[in-house]
Structure 1
């Protein structure tokens, strides 16, 4: 059985750092790393890099950076079958896709859905991991929730919402506790003045049923809890292989997840 993470999120959310750290944390699963961000292809991190950079495409086709990224990804998924048989068919391990951060790609484009549908038809267990930088929940709380909701609505595979860079919580002048932000109870204490924000808050309270995971690379507990939830979503933790190869459950303490963030 093949398992797969597709990592998405706005620019600056730490997607490349996440992939790099994940490759180290689960190296015993032999992860295969696929970079589909044409703005960040010249790194030694990935096993596969998308072939065209954003700048090269802009110059050749006289398009802006966002339009170029969208077109490059569209071209990739149109040839996804060739990519699969060349790079993935014999890879029976763990796939991690790193995607670009342009919001319109997830909201208006069809490339991500095409990629997900292809992988699931190949019996690959896909989980989408949506990273959002903690600072956005201080400067654009409602927008961050709305972006995540829209992303979830468009997907038909398991989806995890993750607040990244939580090691910065005590450094920021955060208005709310990390636990309240994570479980969305912060919406109960908001008192927005603008009409749109009022409507958005009520909408989220009525329809957003997902809690956010938290990620702090300095806190092993948060990393293991996130991995457990990913393994639950993919179904891996319910297999005999998991019981044989994984021993991290004994190191998890869910009751202490938010302790490092108490002011």
Structure 2
């Protein structure tokens, strides 16, 4: 039986951004094609409306969020309907296994997941999905997408970082946090972002003090506690992604490869090895001998 593939499981950002969610997947598909790597994307967002790519599988073929919202017995709202759909997926996991398939050989798969943060911080439905994939001998990496526009001041940084940290602790899988839409920032804003890539909570707290308000003063001790948690765990670091830079996309691709140890246990294939031309090798040896004579 052909071993199951390495897999990249994508978690979408804390500020739901369906358009960039689709753009990220399309960017990774293009990069995989340029690297001659097999990659397919499976949509697991039952409320998705737009794609920049052609999904290899779509949860909406199994269940759509409107099914849960319009059912007379359920009558869920948008958030409740989305949670119901994900739980329904886990109850019918054979559909996902069929979409993934078994005839895979060192393939990449991206699971394009919903952007509702509660699925990753407070509930266990996505963790059940991860456990299912581990049971199928997948290697899983969480890619947490954070909109860079929400990381330009200390308060938003603390909020976003606590959400990312909660997700990392809850999911218990290898994890990379990505700042998206870097290409939309001005040069001055990009310099400001640098301070958040390797953050110092004390500096961020001083920023909050500078923005004096009754709210900041009242909840300063709580904010300080958040800062200490981030500093003590020291787990959250951000990777800035500029989708218009091939180097930036390639670096993220390499980072994820290293995290899941992609290809390290693969056998060397004959087509991957460049054998020297016999005539050229003979000429090289003759030239080398003459240089030593």
Alignment TM-score, normalising by the size of structure 2: 0.76
CA distance in 2 between partners of 1:103 and 1:241 (Å): 39
Q: What is the DSSP-based 3-state SS (H/G/I as helix, E as strand, rest coil) of the residue aligned with 2:140?
A: strand
Residues 23-81 of structure 1: CA distance to partner in whole angstroms, max 9, x if unpaired?
11103222121101111156462111112222232111311100000010011012213
Residues 103-155 of structure 1: CA distance to partner in whole angstroms, max 9, x if unpaired?
11112221111111111111111111000000111251111100000000012
Note if contact 1:3-1:124 (Cα within 8 Å) is conserved in structure 2: yes
For structure 1, the 5+ residue unaligned runs are 246-263
Greater shift after overlay, 121-130 or 51-60?
A: 51-60
1:6 matched residue in structure 2: 9
Deviation >6 Å, runs of 4+: 241-245
1:138 matched residue in structure 2: 152
Alignment TM-score, normalising by the size of structure 1: 0.84
Greater shift after overlay, 51-60 or 21-30?
A: 51-60
Classify 1:18/1:210 alpha carbon distance in 2 versus 1 (closer, same or farther; 3 Å). same
Note if contact 1:134-1:163 (Cα within 8 Å) is conserved in structure 2: yes
Note if contact 2:161-2:236 (Cα within 8 Å) is conserved in structure 1: no
Classify 1:209/1:42 alpha carbon distance in 2 versus 1 (closer, same or farther; 3 Å). closer
2:290 matched residue in structure 1: none
Note if contact 1:236-1:242 (Cα within 8 Å) is conserved in structure 2: no
For structure 2, the 5+ residue unaligned runs are 209-215, 273-293
Of 112, 126, 133, the residue aligned with 2:126 is 112
Work out whether 1:153 is the aligned partner of 2:169.
Answer: yes
CA distance in 2 between partners of 1:156 and 1:198 (Å): 26
Q: What is the DSSP-based 3-state SS (H/G/I as helix, E as strand, rest coil) of the residue aligned with 2:194?
A: helix
Note if contact 1:160-1:213 (Cα within 8 Å) is conserved in structure 2: yes
1:189 matched residue in structure 2: 203
2:287 matched residue in structure 1: none
Classify 1:55/1:82 alpha carbon distance in 2 versus 1 (closer, same or farther; 3 Å). closer
Note if contact 1:149-1:208 (Cα within 8 Å) is conserved in structure 2: no
